[in-house]
Chain A
């Protein structure tokens, strides 16, 4: 029993990483109906910016705020420059665009900061949390921050005019335009917010996986798995999905013999496929009905 509780706790701790990333994935999916394959790289780049700011002597929270602001603006800029012209293009072209963006960001980050692994500080300290060896104060802080972001997002979408406009633009663009919503800018705003959330995710994840240009690859795949499990249309579902994937991965690794570390990834991926086949809208997503 104790082993079980410990493994669940450890799973929740890693799950927090996936939940953070999944939140950003869902955010952009809400805005543009595409999965952004470059999301992880955008988050990585933001994290490097904050690291650079700290190297220049800016205190942690100062650089945190600056980075989130920078990411927001950069997200909007990327949308305006590169993806707005592709809005009407087939999905295929968009996917190719994301891959191109991925290659560019990864390579530029590698050139500026090179591929050596860097330590990244945590604002929460890394001592054991409430005397538990499995979950550190950093991980607890990360979970807290993820939940805080989720609550803020909930309030934003539920109670602000902009949030309402964004939801309208995402679900029925034509009608939204008719009532005077600038849908094109709502999409840009969605990119900005996704980039900002991604940057928070990056800064929270970096102390755990260490900072380097390829740090996000594995995390992004788990983030996708989490987002699909929870439902791509539900931010709440994405966070729950993140924790579930983390716990599931740990329990399977512990209790099913023969599943070592190397099989953890295929299991997360098998989970994606299973969920997609059994319940395509995810646990909390709305089923989408097509008009014929």
Chain B
């Protein structure tokens, strides 16, 4: 059509979240922590396994939250980083006989590098284009993992079986329970580190970029560096989650890391509240349990029920679990006064 160039004022990709609104108060955190520590003692092994997965997906959603809620960049490609982390752990454990705990930092570092490198070309993209590029990455990943070239290490379409670790020092607990507490410690560590990261100079730089890139660069923020760094950190955390996921599920295969996983993580972030880190665990619960609930309501229509629930969330609580939490705190405050 016409050669005239358009001038548009770009709408904000992500709503600004004040820094303080990103975390929970001490009291609430303590209650959640105690609940997370005590529950496994009271329930069956299968539920413990599900809770482990809850924490693992929670980590992955948290990673996306740092990227999107923190620095304002999209990603529909988190499953690719998750897959790289999972395969790194699995290959190191099965081919190099490495201890499972040692494989996780390596998975994190490799994914950090991968994410950092992917962040470089992604620098030129924003909004919907970035969503598309990361979408492409996520769709391509399973195909790449199936390649004959890597088959010796990855096991091709078959994937790899991973041995589940026993509890160390002869502790009297089942494998599932040990893995749960192991995951819990890592999750808490990463959660605290993320909270601190967002409160630090780097975190403020992320948020400045999210709210107004040009203003941020005018203030002396190295936009390119911090954007790629956000990608790297996010990918690194996702990689650790992927490694833990591989150990918990005891199996890695290309078809476990399709675009569906990336979309789930994305939905988890939207449901949990973009930019609200504690919401990650709520979002993770949504993506683990809601499909089951949907299946329970109607077997044939589970996808439709899932979609309708998602629309309800978007329309009723557009800020996700964060909004619910805020309303709840206000109610609580009123009750206290009376």
Interface, chain A (partner B; CB < 8 A): 33-35, 82, 85-86, 89-93, 95-97, 99-104, 106-108, 110-111, 157, 167, 171-172, 221, 224-225, 228, 233-234, 258, 262-263, 265-266, 269-270, 272-273, 276-277, 280, 286-292
Among residues of B, the one whose C-beta sits closest to the C-beta of A221 is B139
Interchain CB contact under 8 A, A93 and B318: yes
The complex places the Cα of A16 from the Cα of B272 at a distance, in Å, of 41
Question: Is there contact, CB below 8 Å, between B307 and A104?
Answer: yes
Which of B28-36, B51-59, B130-138, B198-206 lies at the binding interface?
A: B130-138
Q: Quick one: which of B291-313 are within 8 Å of A by CB?
A: 300-308, 310-311
Measured CB to CB, the closest approach of chain B to A83, in angstroms, equals 10
Residues B1 and A35 in contact, CB atoms below 8 Å apart: no
Partner of A100, one of B301, B302, B307: B307
- Is there an interface contact between B132 and A92, defined as CB atoms closer than 8 Å? no
What residues on B are CB-neighbors of A172 within 8 Å? 6
Indicate with 1 or 0, residue by residue over B129-151, a CB within 8 angstroms of chain A CB atoms.
10111011101100110110100
Report chain B residues within 8 Å CB of A95.
74, 76, 131, 266
Q: For residue B15, which residues in chain A have a CB less than 8 angstroms away from its CB?
A: 90
Contact call B10/A290, Cβ cutoff below 8 A? yes
Sorted from nearest, which 7 A-B pairs have the closest CB atoms?
A: A107-B303, A104-B307, A269-B136, A103-B307, A100-B310, A266-B140, A107-B304
Q: A107-B306, A221-B136, A287-B5 are in contact. List 10 more A-B contacts (CB 8 A).
A: A35-B132, A91-B127, A100-B311, A107-B304, A111-B300, A225-B136, A276-B132, A280-B129, A286-B3, A290-B7
Contact yes or no, A90 B11, CB < 8 A: yes
> How far apart sit A290 and B12, CA to CA, in the bound complex (Å)?
12
Chain B interfacial residues counted at CB < 8 A: 56
Number of A-B contacts (CB under 8 A): 153
A101 to chain B, nearest CB (A): 7
Q: A90-B12, A92-B13, A95-B131 are in contact. Are A289 and B6 (CB under 8 A)?
A: yes
User: Is B14 interfacial (CB-CB < 8 Å)?
Assistant: yes
Known: A92-B13, A263-B143. A224 touches B7 (CB 8 A): no
Partner of B267, one of A99, A108, A269: A99
Given contacts A110-B300, A266-B144, A289-B7, contact A92 B1 (CB under 8 A): no
| Given known A104-B308, A110-B300, contact A280–B124 (CB-CB < 8 A) | yes
Q: In the complex, are the beta carbons of A93 and B270 less than 8 A apart?
A: yes
Known: A97-B314, A99-B263, A107-B303. A265 touches B139 (CB 8 A): yes
Q: Is the CB of B125 within 8 A of A280?
A: yes
Q: Is the pair A107, B302 in contact by a Cβ cutoff of 8 Å?
A: yes
- A110–B303 contact, CB under 8 A? yes
Instruction: Establish whether residues B266 and A103, one from each chain, have CB atoms under 8 Å apart when the complex forms.
Output: no
Across the interface, name the chain A residue whose C-beta is closest to B263: A99
Restricting to B101-125, which residues have a CB under 8 Å from any CB of A? 121, 124-125
Q: Are B137 and A234 in contact (CB under 8 A)?
A: no
Q: Contacts A95-B266, A276-B132 given: A291-B303 contact, CB under 8 Å?
A: no
Question: Provided the pairs A91-B127, A100-B310 are in contact, do residues A111 and B301 lie with their beta carbons within 8 angstroms?
Answer: yes
Min CB–CB distance A261 → chain B (angstroms) = 10
User: For B7, B149, B304, B306, which residue has the most chain A Cβ atoms within 10 angstroms?
Assistant: B304
Say whether A92 contacts B124, CB under 8 Å.
Answer: no
Instruction: Please tell me if the beta carbons of A171 and B6 are within 8 angstroms of each other in the complex.
Output: yes
- A291 shortest CB reach to chain B, Å: 5
Q: Is B97 an interface residue (CB 8 A)?
A: no
A89 to B317, CA, bound (A): 12
Given contacts A90-B13, A103-B306, contact A291 B140 (CB under 8 A): no
A275 to B30, CA, bound (A): 49
* A221, B318: Cα distance in complex, Å: 28
Q: How far is the CB of A80 from chain B (nearest CB, A)?
A: 14
Looking at A101, A265, A270, which has the most chain B CB atoms within 10 Å of its CB?
A: A265
> What are 21 A-B pairs at a CB distance below 8 A?
A90-B11, A90-B13, A90-B14, A90-B15, A91-B131, A92-B68, A93-B270, A96-B266, A96-B270, A157-B1, A167-B1, A224-B135, A263-B147, A266-B143, A276-B124, A276-B129, A276-B133, A277-B125, A290-B7, A290-B8, A291-B7
- Pick the contact of B121 from A82, A273, A292 — CB < 8 Å? A273
| Chain A residues within 8 Å of B12, by CB | 90
CB–CB A288/B300 < 8 A? no
CB distance from B247 to the nearest CB of A (A): 28
B209 CB to nearest A CB, Å: 15
CB-CB under 8 A from B46, the residues of chain A are none
Neighbouring B residues of A171 by C-beta, 8 Å: 6
Q: Does B315 contact A (CB under 8 A)?
A: yes
CA distance A238 to B9 in the complex (A): 25
- Closest chain-A Cβ to B308's Cβ sits at a distance in Å of 7
Partner of B139, one of A99, A100, A269, A286: A269
User: Of B144, B307, B310, which is within 8 A of A107 by CB?
Assistant: B307
